[in-house]
């Protein structure tokens, strides 16, 4: 949890803001994410606003698209609200850390088995969306939220492949260096291969702390799959299901994304998730007493 700043809103719709989810200087998320609680104390949510300088109308349109994505493995958009000048959305709260905060809590890159588990779950989530013709278009480390049961992919920016998947300034301008496929950087639309390219960047980040690492930085067991995902040739990138098979051979499709059983996490990451949960409960007590 990050403390609120003076320029942070005290309320978002019917919710009282408690803390910021992202640290100062976080890159890759085209929105401001807050932990918030309803005024009656009955609901805790992650409430989101457009990033400073972004187009509220474009942001609201993308939030509406995200609300339609209900596939397992994605962080849901449960409530839309606000005005054209001040739109917002909210999702039910569960203890979660953006991937950069996970590495910070752990003290560096994650162990290879955990990278494989995270990558497999994300690949499965993308596969389930791609089957429906849905392209994400905004996959990046800060958009991955790790819970005790595995990762969830923030669905903000997700678009249907036709005709709504044209490159969006809101979705692409905030992407962390290394997550934007070359063809998208050249002005092309978001499509399934560009999602796989970004997935490769997330895997690289989890394994090394960088989205564009030197080859020798990447653990030997992950080099081939990460290199394939990050091929400059879109046709040379594997499908998400193939990425799942490379990361977790023999894993049953459908068993990872949106799982409800806890996964094995490093102790410091578990501690950070527990600390966040305790902080939210403590911060909510004054609200409940009003």
Listing DSSP states for 58-87 in one string gives HHHHHHHHHHT---TTEE---EEEEETTEE
**What average pLDDT does the segment 255-284 reach?**
89
Q: Which tokens is 193 given? A: 């291969």
Does the pLDDT value for residue 168 go beyond 60?
A: no
Does the pLDDT value for residue 286 go beyond 50?
A: no
How many helices (H) and strands (E) the chain has is answered by 9, 12
**What average pLDDT does the segment 137-150 reach?**
92
Does the pLDDT value for residue 92 go beyond 80?
A: yes
**DSSP 8-state code for residue 215:** G
Asked which of 57-71, 89-103, 107-121 is least confident by mean pLDDT, the reply is 57-71
| Beta bridge partner(s), residue 134 | 160
Does the pLDDT value for residue 278 go beyond 60?
A: yes
Q: Where are the domains of the chain?
A: 11-94+269-288, 97-247
List the one residue out of 196, 189, 153 whose CA is nearest residue 171.
189
Q: Dihedral through CA 176, CA 245, CA 270, CA 262, nearest 10?
A: 130
List the one residue out of 39, 33, 32, 31 whose CA is nearest residue 13.
39
Superfamily of domain 97-247: Transferase(Phosphotransferase) domain 1 (1.10.510.10)
Q: Which class would CATH give 11-94+269-288?
A: alpha beta
């Amino acid at each position: 949890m990050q403390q609120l700043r003076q320029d942070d809103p005290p309320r978002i719709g019917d919710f009282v803001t408690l803390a910021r989810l992202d640290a100062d200087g976080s890159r890759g998320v085209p929105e401001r994410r807050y932990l918030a609680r309803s005024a009656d104390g009955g609901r805790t949510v992650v409430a989101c606003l457009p990033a400073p300088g972004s187009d509220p109308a474009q942001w609201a349109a993308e939030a509406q698209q995200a609300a339609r994505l209900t596939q397992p493995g994605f962080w849901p958009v449960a409530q839309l609200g606000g005005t054209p000048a001040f739109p917002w959305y909210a999702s039910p709260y569960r203890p979660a850390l953006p991937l950069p905060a996970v590495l910070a809590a752990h003290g560096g890159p994650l162990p290879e088995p955990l990278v494989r588990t995270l990558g497999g779950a994300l690949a499965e989530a993308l596969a389930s969306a791609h089957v429906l013709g849905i392209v994400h278009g905004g996959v990046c480390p800060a958009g991955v939220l790790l819970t005790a049961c595995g990762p969830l992919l923030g669905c903000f920016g997700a678009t249907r492949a036709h005709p709504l998947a044209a490159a969006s300034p809101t979705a692409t301008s905030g992407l962390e260096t290394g997550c934007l496929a070359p063809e998208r950087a050249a002005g092309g639309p978001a499509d399934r291969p560009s999602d796989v390219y970004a997935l490769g960047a997330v895997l690289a980040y989890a394994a090394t702390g960088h989205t564009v690492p030197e080859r020798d930085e990447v653990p030997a067991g992950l080099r081939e799959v990460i290199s394939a995902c990050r091929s400059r040739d879109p046709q040379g990138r594997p499908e998400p299901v193939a990425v799942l098979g490379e990361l977790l051979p023999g894993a049953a499709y459908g068993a990872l994304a949106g799982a409800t059983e806890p996964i094995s996490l490093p102790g410091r990451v578990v501690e950070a998730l527990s600390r966040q949960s305790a902080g939210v409960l403590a911060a909510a007590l004054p609200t409940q007493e009003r």
